[in-house]
Amino acid sequence: MNIHGIGTDIIECLRIAAMIEKHGELFLSRVYTPHEIEYCSARRAANQHYAGRFAAKEAVLKALGTGWTRGIQWQDIEVRNELGGKPRIALSGGARELCIKTGISEVLITISHCRSFATAYAIAVGKE
């Protein structure tokens, strides 16, 4: 496996909480997939989980080397969890198309959060 890119991000959980409070469902449905909303909303510290997924999406964009260009939307990057809780990235839309063109086969992710901050680190890998 070759590393195509790395990315990291950190965000204040209170910033995400303020966005949710101010914009509500409009913010949530713009940034998060229905699966992510269901997952985060079911957690006791929902704002920390939303912030973690926000940081993960930003870290993935950095690993892909694009930022919010080339037709990539927030919901094109989805954080899912394996049975043991390990996060994994599912790509669709513009993000998936970019990976196919550039030979990226997977984006590895790790997420951590506490009351104040959430952080994520992503590695884009491929065979080429």
Residue 126 has phi, psi (to 5 degrees) of: -165, 170
Q: In the chain, what are the domains? A: 2-126 (3.90.470.20)
The secondary structure of 24-40 as a DSSP string is: THHHHHHHS-HHHHHHH
Query: How far apart are the C-alpha atoms of 95 and 105, rounded to whole Å?
Result: 12
pTM of the full structure: 0.94
pLDDT digits (tens, 9 = 90+) for 59-77: 999 999 987 666 799 999 9
Q: Please give the positions annotated as active site.
A: 62, 113
Tokens of 103: 């030979």
Half-sphere exposure of 71 (CA within 13 A, CB side): 9
Please write the tens of the pLDDT for every residue from 13-48.
999 999 999 999 999 999 999 999 999 999 999 999
Best CA proximity match to 59, nearest among 12, 109, 93: 109
